[in-house]
């Protein structure tokens, strides 16, 4: 992604409604799916500036993978040091069957070979372990936001399921999310696409929000995310896939 996007992310990811929603989602899923009595090892792929990696450490021993030297510098400013600098396009530098849970949040869309990373995640996941994947959804929502973050594509749920079909893993959940805010976000992105000519591309995170609106959006968003415990959502700005590696005999 553009370098200034890392700075924005670092500055707002503890307070901005979208980043707080991502933390809410991961924490909720790990509480539901992980066995808290185990000595869990968890891996975050594409750790960015570190907010999810900080969260993983509440559920076990957290590790991260990140390519950007700038992001890693920001991570270390937060005293988050369990990070490996590595390219997600290459084999993951861990042995087989290591991690109880792996998070891969808004990473696949950056890769030419997304299947290579999916295969690697299954390899390093423990038998019975889980893999939590989120991606931006629906190609018709493509906008300057995607260009600023260097996305290659947006996904449908069907495309995600087709990607993982050759892998030996079970699908625990496949759903869209961020549906309740679909119309305003889609409208803003289409307007930005229309007026982008000749302008520097920027993500939606550059849009400053009043505190009351940011707080309201988070409450609205987290209420929707809570529904994912028991239901799937038929459309949304993002897609969620949860995989489980089979137990060995």
**Of 154-158, 166-170, 190-194, minimum mean pLDDT range:** 190-194
- Pairing label, strands 99-105, 61-66: unpaired
Residue 249: inside a domain, yes or no? no
For the chain, what is the domain count?
Answer: 1
Bridge partners, 126 (sequence order): none
Look up the pTM and report it.
0.93
pLDDT tens-digit profile of 111-152? 999 999 999 999 999 999 999 999 999 999 998 888 888 999
Residue 56 belongs to some domain of the structure:
yes
Q: Give mean pLDDT, residues 51-64.
A: 92
Averaged pLDDT, 171-194: 87
- Please check whether residue 108 lies inside any domain of the structure: yes
The pLDDT tens digits for 23-49 are 999 999 999 999 887 789 999 999 988
Summarize pLDDT for 186-216 with one digit per residue, the tens.
888 877 776 666 566 677 776 788 999 999 9
Quote the pLDDT of residue 249. 55
pLDDT at residue 17 greater than cutoff 60 = yes
| Residue position matching structure tokens 């950056």 | 110
**CA of residue 206 relative to chain centroid, distance:** 19
Find the Cα–Cα–Cα–Cα dihedral 91, 96, 100, 105, rounded to 10°: 10
Does residue 210 lie within any of the structural domains?
Answer: yes
The pLDDT score that the predictor gives to residue 185 is 86
Non-local (6+) Cβ contacts of 149 within 8 A are: 1, 2, 5, 110, 203
Domain CATH number, residue 211: 3.40.50.150
pLDDT value at 184 more than 90: no
34 within domain boundaries: yes
- Is residue 20 helix, strand or coil? helix
Asked whether residue 33 is assigned to any structural domain, the reply reads yes
Q: Average pLDDT for residues 69-96, to the nearest whole number?
A: 88
Distance CA 40, CA 246 (A): 17
Find, among 131, 173, 157, 130, the residue nearest to 237 by Cα.
Answer: 157
Lowest-confidence region among 100-109, 192-201, 221-230: 192-201
CA distance 141 to 66: 27
Rounded Cα distance, 24 and 14, in Å: 11
Residue 158 inside a domain? The answer is: yes
Q: Please, what's the b/e burial string for 37-59 (b: 16 or more CB within 10 A of its CB; e: otherwise)?
A: eeebbbbbbbbbbbbbbbbbeeb
pLDDT at 19: 93
> Tokens 């707002």 correspond to what residue?
12
Longest dimension (CA), the chain: 59
Q: Give the C-alpha separation, 68 to 47, whole Å.
A: 10
The dihedral through the CA atoms of 210, 211, 212, 215 has a sign that is positive
Q: Using 50, 70 and 90 to split pLDDT, how confident is the model at 227?
A: very high
Arithmetic mean of pLDDT, 16-23: 94
CA distances 128 to 31, 60, 95, 133, 171, Å, are: 16, 16, 16, 16, 12
Residue 225 belongs to what domain range? 3-244
């Amino acid at each position: 992604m553009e370098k200034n996007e890392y700075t924005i992310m670092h500055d707002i990811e503890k307070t901005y409604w979208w980043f707080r929603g991502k933390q809410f989602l991961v924490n909720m899923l790990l509480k539901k799916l992980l066995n808290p009595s185990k000595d869990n090892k968890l891996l975050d792929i594409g750790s960015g500036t570190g907010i999810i990696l900080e969260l993983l450490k509440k559920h076990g021993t957290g590790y991260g993978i990140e390519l950007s030297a700038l992001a890693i510098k920001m991570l270390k400013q937060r005293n988050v040091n369990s990070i490996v600098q590595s390219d997600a396009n290459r084999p993951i530098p861990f042995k087989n069957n290591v991690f109880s849970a792996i998070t891969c949040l808004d990473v696949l869309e950056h890769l030419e070979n997304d299947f290579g990373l999916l295969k690697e995640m299954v390899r390093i996941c423990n038998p019975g372990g889980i893999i939590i994947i989120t991606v931006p959804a629906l190609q018709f929502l493509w906008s300057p936001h995607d260009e600023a973050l260097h996305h290659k594509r947006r996904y449908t749920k069907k495309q995600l399921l087709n990607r993982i079909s050759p892998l030996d893993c079970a699908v625990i959940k496949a759903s869209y999310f961020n549906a309740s805010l679909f119309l305003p976000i889609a409208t803003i992105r289409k307007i930005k696409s229309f007026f982008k000519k000749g302008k520097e591309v920027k993500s939606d995170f550059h849009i400053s929000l009043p505190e009351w609106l940011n707080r309201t959006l988070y409450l609205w968003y987290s209420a929707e995310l809570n529904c994912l415990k028991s239901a799937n959502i038929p459309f949304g700005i993002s897609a969620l896939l949860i995989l489980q590696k089979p137990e060995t005999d």
